[in-house]
Structure 1
Amino acid sequence: MNTNFFKRKWQTGLLLGLLSFLAVTGQCQPQKSLKQLQEDFVNLKFGMFIHFNIPTFADADWPDPDAPASLFNPTKLDCDQWAKAAKSANMTYGCLTTKHHSGYCIWDTKTTDYNVMNSPLKRDVVREYVNAFRKNGLKTMLYYSILDTHHKIRPGYISTEKVDMVKVQLTELLTNYGEISALVIDGWDAPWSRISYEAVSFQEIYKLVKQLQPNCLLMDLNAAKYPTDILFYTDIKSYEQNAGQQISSETNQLPAMACLPIQYNWFWKKSFPTDQLKKAEYLVNENIVPYTKAYCNFMLNVAPNSDGLIDQNAMDELKKIGDLWKDDGSRAKLPDLDAPIIAENIAKFRRSNASWSDDMWIMDFGNDDDFHTAWVSNPRIQTPWYELVLDQRQPFNAITIVDSRNCIKKYRLQYFDAGKWETLFDGENSDKIKVHRFDTVWGKQVKIIIDESTTAPAIAEFGVYNEER
């Protein structure tokens, strides 16, 4: 790790100056509404995910985080071949892994020596990728991992300096390579990464991305734990099919992305040139066609080999896809959506109280950051209530209630301040996920009183947020 960089740069205030300047210049872009950007993404329909990084040369998706920078050595790198392969399948964009979980950067970053410029290649792969795809009429997206095992951006080691490193790397990627349609984030708020949205603030990263490129969508690959009814911590709902995440093409109402590798894994393996691939017929009929009718963009991963080329068997299958599927010109119009939740949930793991419930479903389950558990009211209670006790009197301006049984019809929301309860909402709302946004108030307790429900209510998560607006 280049520790001298931290001492030399961040302590002199370069970060704040750079971000302030770029935030202003980013706002000069003509800005589309979020809904229009989401529709634009959905209507791209089909694109190429490109897992290509130091794992390509280690024959492992999770290589040794101390593998030398020199291991990265694609002697025949040809991003134009990738782009032409995408075109042959009638894809509309690419998405490249700029930095995966092992922390290796395949662009000319100034934040660390662990990058492609210190490899035998000594060429900026991100630059060659965006140039090649744009030359071939394709949109460009980038993938970036928050988890970074080489630089120890992982639980127990998160620091202000390391969060600053993330911000500067994202700033480089979103200012030096032209228009980026979407930034796909990974290694964040996942059971295997254990880096929470508080340890690395989602709201801060989200705001930075939007300041740098207002028309860039931010998509978190690890949003699977959140309900499918509204957007939590992402502009686009994602489904990693290899991990068992399956979108419902019958009921989905959110802008979505489903991803799958054409090979058996994400990064290239030595057996790939002769391995059986997923067949074009399956990819078209079971993925592209149904998903494009359900507000869902399909991202097919094609892993280039250690020479920097796509294997011939994958090239052939992509051409078959292009022969079977062509964009029919239809364009989706998304339903009206709430804006995504991006702020820290200040209610998470705080003390809670409630009316009577059985011991196995007590109030702690209503704010445990697990949407598969819930506080469940005892059915004998006529007017159930649930209350959160915040650490201190603090501001908030949004509340979400995940109604597990979709049974709560009429309720009151209250907050406690200056010795009395004040009402935020008193009325009917039959949504499964109830979202309330309001002018900022201050308080240290928040309560829901349920006046009408069709069965004993169950609250999976009660969230309280102070959103920047």
Structure 2
Amino acid sequence: MKPWSDRLTLTASTEQVSRYMIKTILLSCALALTGYSSIAQAQLPSGKPSPAQQAMINRGYGMFIHFGINTFADVEWSDGTIPAEKYNPTQLDPDQWVRTARDAGFRYVLLITKHHDGFCLWDSKYTTYDVASSPVKTDVVRAVSDACKKYGLQFAIYYSLWDRHEPSYKSPDKQLYVNYMLHQLTELFTNYGNICELWLDGGWDRKPEEWGIEQVYQLVKKFNPNCAVSVNHTIVNEEGQRNFTLPSKMTEDNKYYFQYFPSDFRLWDPKLITRFDKKQYLHNGQSYYLPFEHTLCISNRWNWFEKSTQLPVRDLDELEELFYWCTDNNNCLVMNVPPDQTGRIREYQALAAIELGQRLGLSLKKPLPKNGRFISLQKTASASSVWHDKENIYAANAVNDGNLDSRWASSDTLASLEITLNPADAFNKISIFEYKDTKDLADGFSQARLPRIQAYAVDIQQNGHWDTIYLGDAPMGDCKVIRLPRRYQASRLRFRVTKATAPPSLYEISVIDMK
């Protein structure tokens, strides 16, 4: 899903070109038969959620499922040339996927139906690059949709705009490939029950206006007006320009613009919003309400398609705090829990997702849980040392600015940081996100994260006296959550590094009151 610079060029055989010409005629005829109208259903300017957006906000938490031809090649991306015969799950069990989602407390399942390689997880009339041409011909889209009905979850789909296999994609007439997409989406929206969300990806390979997003939006809304639709990298800094803005910058209403219009929500995989995320975005001088949907991997190596090698999952503390962060302020989260080459989710990953749901107390009958009250947010912070930079971007106040893209960095291996608190505010939880060094892995996509901080302490100041309330003698992990058995009040909190392999750096320290 993250674009690579070494994109491979498509090639088409004579047979493919012949098939393409025949399909072009069939597509045009099918468009007429579906009663497709050129009058698009409008997205209206608003300062509050539409019914589709409100339904999305109510869902809040979904399970992302990456599965396809890439799973069987041990890669994240492929160029559409892997033979369909390579797809061969030996124990394909979509029921297990959705049952895991139910047991973990997810509200919906978001299934990859076609990735950038063009391989389809259903028997599409418009391509032979699909499961019907593979050794295991099970219609995975149908199996997942049926399992969602069985277990009471909603069903959502991911569909790649970019297609590295389909011959019509190369045509100078961009509408020919748009027609191809419209017909595949018609198959999906007419044969698989209610679809609550359409997640589009790969838009960077063409100009935004060449994708026919208005036509796609209209088609989807014809079948389900309450289906939420969006394209990855939804928002930009300037109207009509691909000058991207990160979600962590979206802290002011009516400052940023649609890149893809219409869109019902914002996407920027896998970036995170801030605690001051705003919802109003501009198109042609009018303001539209847009929530944000986050994407995370349960793996701590940031891989989407499961590899043949087992990879560790994120720590439960990190998953919990990221859940709270991502579902706050009427935003949503989908977490990727991918099946392996057998066609099943590995048991240790399923258990991690289920354990998280149990810790959070998730239930379809209850609203999603919230974190406590942040009493340290934007309070005065100071550090014993700061990494030297001209723009002062590593200053101490980065640790409590509500932004996981900013960080404090020390210039010394042993360092401390203090945050001023209101002595009247009680707290019983401290959440710490550490910046880590990264090491690229052999797949060219995943990364291992390496801690710097090896030992540390947390002190509080009361009546001018410092007391240590936590002493850690092991690396803290990506996120350390300190749950205190009693509530404290203090004028200052101090984080001390007592052992480190390099100058320490923290994204965020949150002092929280969990009532």
d(CA) in 2 for partners of 1:80, 1:270:
21
> Does structure 2 conserve the Cα–Cα contact (< 8 Å) formed by 1:9 and 1:15?
no
Note the C-alpha offset of 1:291: 2.7
d(CA) in 2 for partners of 1:157, 1:60:
30
SS at match of 2:90: coil
Deviates more, 1:152-161 or 1:39-48: 152-161
Query: Which residue pairs with 1:415 in the alignment?
Result: none
Note the C-alpha offset of 1:255: 1.3
SS at match of 2:35: helix
**Aligned alpha-carbon RMSD (Å):** 2.6
Query: Which residue pairs with 2:102 in the alignment?
Result: 87
Q: 2:175 aligns with which of 146, 160, 176?
A: 160
- Counterparts of 1:123-142 in structure 2 under 5 Å? 123-142=138-157
d(CA) in 1 for partners of 2:166, 2:100:
34
Note the C-alpha offset of 1:219: 1.6
Q: 1:210 aligns with which of 217, 221, 225?
A: 221
1:246 aligns with 2:275: no
Q: Which runs of 5+ in 2 are unaligned?
A: 1-11, 42-47, 238-244, 280-289, 370-515
> Residues 279 and 154 of structure 1: is their aligned pair in 2 closer, same or farther, counting only changes over 3 Å?
farther
- Counterparts of 1:57-72 in structure 2 under 5 Å? 57-72=72-87
- Counterparts of 1:307-386 in structure 2 under 5 Å? 307-327=342-362, 329-330=366-367
d(CA) in 2 for partners of 1:326, 1:198:
44
- Counterparts of 1:30-109 in structure 2 under 5 Å? 35-109=50-124
- Counterparts of 1:176-187 in structure 2 under 5 Å? 176-187=191-202
Query: Which residue pairs with 1:281 in the alignment?
Result: 317
- Identity percentage of aligned residues: 33
Note the C-alpha offset of 1:47: 0.8
Query: Which residue pairs with 1:467 in the alignment?
Result: none
d(CA) in 1 for partners of 2:224, 2:55:
16
d(CA) in 2 for partners of 1:84, 1:6:
39
Note the C-alpha offset of 1:10: 3.4
d(CA) in 2 for partners of 1:66, 1:251:
41
Note the C-alpha offset of 1:16: 2.2
**Amino acid in the other structure paired with 2:60:** K
1:262 aligns with 2:288: no
Note the C-alpha offset of 1:147: 0.4
Q: 2:30 aligns with which of 9, 15, 33?
A: 15
d(CA) in 1 for partners of 2:37, 2:105:
35
d(CA) in 2 for partners of 1:23, 1:51:
33
Note the C-alpha offset of 1:64: 4.0
d(CA) in 1 for partners of 2:167, 2:329:
39
Deviates more, 1:100-109 or 1:310-319: 310-319
Query: In the comparison of the two structures, how many residue pairs are matched?
Result: 315
Note the C-alpha offset of 1:4: 4.5
SS at match of 1:122: coil
Q: 2:188 aligns with which of 170, 173, 177?
A: 173
Deviations 1:430-458 (A, max 9, x none): xxxxxxxxxxxxxxxxxxxxxxxxxxxxx
Deviations 1:320-352 (A, max 9, x none): 1111113483489xxxxxxxxxxxxxxxxxxxx
d(CA) in 1 for partners of 2:20, 2:49:
35
> Does structure 2 conserve the Cα–Cα contact (< 8 Å) formed by 1:6 and 1:161?
no
> Does structure 1 conserve the Cα–Cα contact (< 8 Å) formed by 2:362 and 2:368?
no
TM normalised by structure 2 equals 0.57
> Residues 130 and 100 of structure 1: is their aligned pair in 2 closer, same or farther, counting only changes over 3 Å?
same
**Amino acid in the other structure paired with 1:7:** M
d(CA) in 2 for partners of 1:198, 1:125:
31
Deviations 1:147-188 (A, max 9, x none): 011125667756332221111111111111110000000001
d(CA) in 1 for partners of 2:173, 2:112:
22
> Does structure 2 conserve the Cα–Cα contact (< 8 Å) formed by 1:39 and 1:255?
no
> Residues 128 and 330 of structure 1: is their aligned pair in 2 closer, same or farther, counting only changes over 3 Å?
closer
Query: Which residue pairs with 2:232 in the alignment?
Result: 221
